[in-house]
Amino acid sequence: MAIGIFDSGLGGLTVWNAVHKRLPDLPIVYFADSAHAPYGVRDMDDIYNLTTAATQRLWDAGCDLTVLACNTASAAALRRMQESFLPPHKRSLGVFVPLIEALTERQWGDNSPPREVAVKNVALFATPATVASRAFQRELAFRAIGVDVEAQACGGVVDAIEDGDMILAEALVRSHVDALLRKMPRPDAAILGCTHYPLMEAIFADALGPDVKVYSQADIVAESLADYLQRHPEMLGQGQGGLFLTTGDPARVSARATQFLRQEIRFTAA
């Protein structure tokens, strides 16, 4: 039995790692669409087509439940998938809603009207496509009122991380934080709206300063998934876990993944 975790590249490994620690006995198939990364600079139809193709590949691997551990895919494709692509016996979960629930201190399934929350000024760091989709603001509006969101498109950060150039990634993060702070000088909280960004969480936190609470997705998504599977154990598919699949060069992707997680990860061709 297995679930699938999908990302355009290696950023979703931060979610895989958190899920593996939270649910060590859960079989997982991880799919990295490295040949087409990054998604954040693509148009919405392209992202949708790539995301549905990846989801189909995870279905073929026996995963009835897939986690879109990619904010760009969650923002640009998930709602459309739920409306017209997913059959009744399949589910895809995104990464936005658990994060917003944590930010607004609402429990899963709380469908009460939106209300005022403690956080008033939120800085959102995400890919250009995620920012353009306004999906975060849309989902937040279902749950909270009176929250000002300032979004910063962090061009180049994902590419630098995927290339293993952490010096460039740090410089870009600091530049993007400076740009956001010019627009919103005193955010209460910051959302790292890309699963690559937890690898740079300490840099974001340092650049933002000690008064800004930084919300990173991996642990929040892992806890949400544990709750979901407790309520829906039937969503565990019949696939075999422990697989890492990529559309890119398996040797190169494996080397990068091992560098990111500091444990050996071996990808095979999808």
Fold (topology level) of 3-96+218-269: Rossmann fold (3.40.50)
pLDDT for the residue numbered 147:
95
pLDDT for the residue numbered 1:
66
Model pTM? 0.89
70 in active site: yes
pLDDT for the residue numbered 125:
97
Same fold, 3-96+218-269 and 97-216: yes
Instruction: Locate the domains of the chain by residue range.
Output: 3-96+218-269, 97-216
Where helices occur in 144-216 by DSSP H, the ranges are 157-162, 166-183, 201-208
pLDDT for the residue numbered 108:
63
Closest CA to 67 of 106, 25, 103, 98: 98
**Which 8-state DSSP code applies to residue 234?**
G
Annotated catalytic residue, options 194, 199, 200, 220: 194
- pLDDT mean by block of 10 residues, the chain; 270 residues: 91 95 94 94 95 97 95 93 94 91 80 90 95 92 94 94 92 98 97 92 97 92 94 86 95 93 94
pLDDT for the residue numbered 167:
96
63 in active site: no
Where helices occur in the chain by DSSP H, the ranges are 13-22, 44-60, 71-76, 78-84, 96-104, 128-133, 135-141, 157-162, 166-183, 201-208, 217-231, 250-261
- 3-class state of residue 241 by DSSP: coil
Annotated catalytic residue, options 37, 70, 153, 253: 70
Class of the 97-216 domain? alpha beta
pLDDT for the residue numbered 133:
92
Closest CA to 5 of 102, 92, 98: 92
